[in-house]
Amino acid sequence: MSEPTQRTIKANGISLNVAEQGKGPMVLLCHGFPESWYSWRHQIEALAAAGYHAVAPDMRGYGKSDRPEAIDQYTILHMVGDLVGVLDAFEAKDAVIVGHDWGATIAWHTARLRPDRFRAAAILSVPYRPRSPVRPTSVMPQTADAQFYQLYFQEPGLAEAEFERDPRATLGAMLFGGSGEGVAVIRANAERQGRTPGVGMVSRKDGMLPKVQVPLPSWLTAADLDYYSTEFARSGFRGPLNYYRNIDRNWELMAAFEGVKVVVPSLFIAGDHDMVLAFPGAAEHLAYMKQFVPQLREIKMLPGCGHWTQQERPAEVNAAIVEFVRSLPG
């Protein structure tokens, strides 16, 4: 088959770069941090071959898409609006939405708020989480020496300075560290030293990135890392980090939708080495997800897989998504 093509569309008042391939019903793929449309490279081809129109935008703030400067332009409602705008730009009546990491959170809420436009959801890595009773950042873990990475991301400019010094090294460290291979190394080192690894904690003194070079994970080529690092060298990290700077604002905005469930057919896929599932409360969210997603068809766990689900296990993820989409009515 031909390669995905890229073009710029107008959606929700901004320009979004989208990669697309295939013809048929639309499947809209939403990436997370720190990625781009390219994280779906394996799924785009598989969905096109299966008879679907695969569309993967660079999300707001990423890649070749617009990067609004103001932090408050990155709320969950902006993201939902962007994705509705993608459907409108393609004159698509509806779509199946697929999301990973931040894209998972956005996809859950897009399907939840606009079931008239998004007829099903396949979600990777991040289980559905109902609105917490308290402001999210107020309960994130921190000590005198370290803080949860989402707290580290709150101060504008701080994480950008660390990440933008060497985008290739930054992306390499994050992609290895969050992978099944990287998590296995971290756990083994912690076990040798007789300690429990602090999941998602960042040193107040040393920052987030390791001081030593890390290997490429087996599922990532040097060319893949080159693509990611070139994109972030051009676009920077401010837009992507602004998603995290709206966590409390999103909590305020979503109060109006308290109790609204995800009513469309849904699929959840994650790796059993995914660091997200080790976060406080994640096990409970997974166990009780069907209460909030009543049409949840399946929770599919991938042994040994880390956080980068669709890149680490493309064949299994492709098969699961295609089977799910084919099972839908109509």
Q: In degrees rounded to 5, what are phi and psi of residue 321?
A: -65, -45
Query: Among the options 101, 109, 224, 274, which is catalytic?
Result: 101
- As given in the structure block, the two tokens for residue 188 are 């083994």
Give the span between the Cα atoms of 258 and 243, in whole angstroms.
21
Tell me the one-letter amino acid at 248.
Answer: D
Give the span between the Cα atoms of 99 and 90, in whole angstroms.
19
Report the candidate in 330, 241, 310, 288 with the shortest Cα–Cα distance to residue 99: 310
Residue owning tokens 């449309």: 37
Check if 58 is active-site.
no
Beta pairing, strands 118-124 & 266-271: parallel
The three-state secondary structure class of 115 is coil
User: How buried is residue 132: exposed, middle or buried, by Cβ count under 10 Å (0-12/13-18/19+)?
Assistant: exposed
Check if 88 is active-site.
no
Q: Hey, what's the torsion of the CAs at 278, 267, 79, 168, to 10 degrees? A: 50
Q: Tell me how far the alpha carbon of residue 72 is from its chain's centroid.
A: 19
**CA-based max dimension of the chain:** 57
Active-site residue set: 101, 307
